[in-house]
Structure 1
């Protein structure tokens, strides 16, 4: 109870320094709120608070780790007796440097054993701190806070159980003891092992009857392009925002536009990215680490979360409409 109170106070103090309303963090209304949507730089307010107040466990699996402040926080948590374990991707220089520093400080860390022949990466972004988990698209890089991105903060017991199982699956794999989870349908999906995220995306697109509003960093998968075109032919409001800095998005942009889908380039500020991989399908919000590409849906190790939480859906819808209005037609 003391941890919940202290975390609530800390988040409230941080919220006072949040960005402008269109880009502000959606702070918790109460300790009982089971789902929370966070976006952009405010995500790191949440991460700081969770690591600082953790008493039992801090489990981290993040593709890029390069923020000295978060490395120091994990070290401090370890020194106060918290079970801190870190899995990261060996192909990222910043993550290799972070892993070396964590190792020197006695923090258990492992590299995910990526399949080099398949050009695989461990693209997951996951933090589990005691009874709370953060899943989404935000890396922990030195400049990641500049990017437009989302995470879901969840206290749902079923989500926590599955996310913990996925972390332990990956920890065991990194130790040379592979024990892949049995694929299953649910609000948490992974890629490699399995194709749960592709199945989730296929399902929510097919089930949508009114609208599909998506912001995607890299989008090249032909099956998803075809599914969105089919949704537009069914009469849905289909609108897609893409990052103009990714050359792979240009053929997708033309294909979507020629099929009647409304698509725009997100106006990224200098030095920033539209790094989100998120979509609203009627009242279902799906977001996470997986780009809408063959690599993201079939090759890389990825992690996504789906929620129908009304506050999260409303928060995403508000931000999307603001982004759409400021993106040139």
Structure 2
């Protein structure tokens, strides 16, 4: 775990902090803004970008053109930004989906988040974002942005505490899980990777107390529900405590180890996230960040119900106790 002193990081929690927390970051910019987003559907954020452009900030935005299911959520935002003379481009064709959610302000700070910049994620979902001020970390986020902007290959520095896809993040996530010695708390919606599943079970077998907060079926595609339900059932058989979060939609991606370190970011526990997509996460052992993550997880755990996933081969049971379906809330 790369050291991250508390003065170099702080945490945003959604929906607690809301859109204003992101707007305040954008309003700080005086020279440059770099934004790479899977989904931009927030007029508050868009207006903040417009204000930045009007005060002379160079604003560059990359938006993912379509989801894995073909939805083109960002066409309206793309056209709006263009009309304001903001530099906007689609994300790199090297990745079928760019799921990264990052913002860089003036080469001074970077936000790496699990939430999209869309109203739903500011008001209805549990999500996290880490604001980092560490120069070497900010420089890497900028380097990744520039590589994708110019359609160039990017070889990240894996020693600064960032978690990159494609190619690297499975191993980075496995290393975090393997490091747990006493407790392992996981808050993720999807479980679609056998390598990470085996690592979680191995942690339980070596005596680690493992808690998993999932979202049940809500937002998980019919394609991914087989692996997710089966993985949750397997973890339960090995003594992992599993609960389903329902008071908020679960969109967060969080792993907490031993109460002292954490990993969060855009990537789900998902083969596509590890192997195909552009994703970005961040590690933290900053005391203030970890303390707030722990407190939020504990509060969510207390409000969640014990959960045994249904048989994935029996669709008649899949909707039991679930939140109402939302076609615009799908874990890519």
TM-score category (smaller protein): 0.7 to 0.9
TM-score calculated relative to the size of structure 1: 0.83
Work out whether residues 94 and 141 of structure 1, in 8 Å CA contact, stay in contact via their aligned partners in 2.
Answer: no
Matches within 5 A, 1:219-258: 219-244=191-216, 245=218, 246=220, 248=225, 249-258=228-237
**Aligned pair partner of 1:135 in 96, 112, 117:** 112
From 2, 15, 25, the counterpart of 1:50: 25
Cα deviation per residue 1:1-24 (whole Å; 9 max; x = unaligned)?
xxxxxxxxxxxxxxxxxxxxxxxx
C-alpha distance in 1 between matches for 2:158 and 2:117: 29
Aligned to 1:28: none
SS of structure 1 residue aligned to 2:269: coil
Find the counterpart in structure 2 of residue 22 from structure 1.
none
| Greater share of strand | 2
Q: Which has the higher contact order (CA 8 A, sep 6+)?
A: 2
The CA distance in 2 between the partners of 1:78 and 1:231, in whole Å, is 49
Aligned to 2:46: 71
Which residue in 2 is equivalent to 1:123?
A: 99
- Counterpart mapping for 1:30-109 below 5 A: 33-41=7-15, 42-91=17-66, 92-109=71-88
Cα distance in structure 1, aligned partners of 2:246 and 2:110: 30
Gaps of 5+ in 1: 1-31
Looking at structure 1, the residues matched to 121 and 175 of structure 2 have their Cα atoms a distance apart, in angstroms, of 31
Answer yes or no: is 1:325 the counterpart of 2:311. Answer: no
CA-based RMSD = 1.6
Tell me how far 1:105 sits from its aligned partner.
Answer: 1.1
TM-superposition CA deviations, 1:96-130 (whole Å, max 9, x none): 210111111110011013458xxx31000001112
- 1:12 aligns with none
1: CA distance between counterparts of 2:276 and 2:97?
8
Q: 2-side partners of 1:251 and 1:40: how far apart?
A: 29
Task: Tell me which residue corresponds to 1:299.
Answer: 276
| Preserved contact between residue 14 and residue 128 of structure 2 (Cα < 8 Å) | yes
CA shift for structure 1 position 179: 3.0
Corresponding residue SS for 1:148: strand
Task: Give unpaired runs (5+ residues) of structure 2.
Answer: 1-5, 307-332
1:278 maps to what in 2? Answer: 254
Distance 1:38 1:164, change over 3 A: same
CA distance in 2, matches of 1:84, 1:242: 37
The structure carrying a bigger helix percent of its residues is 1
TM-score (norm 2): 0.82
Q: 1:43 to 1:160 in 2, by over 3 A?
A: farther
1:9 equivalent in structure 2: none
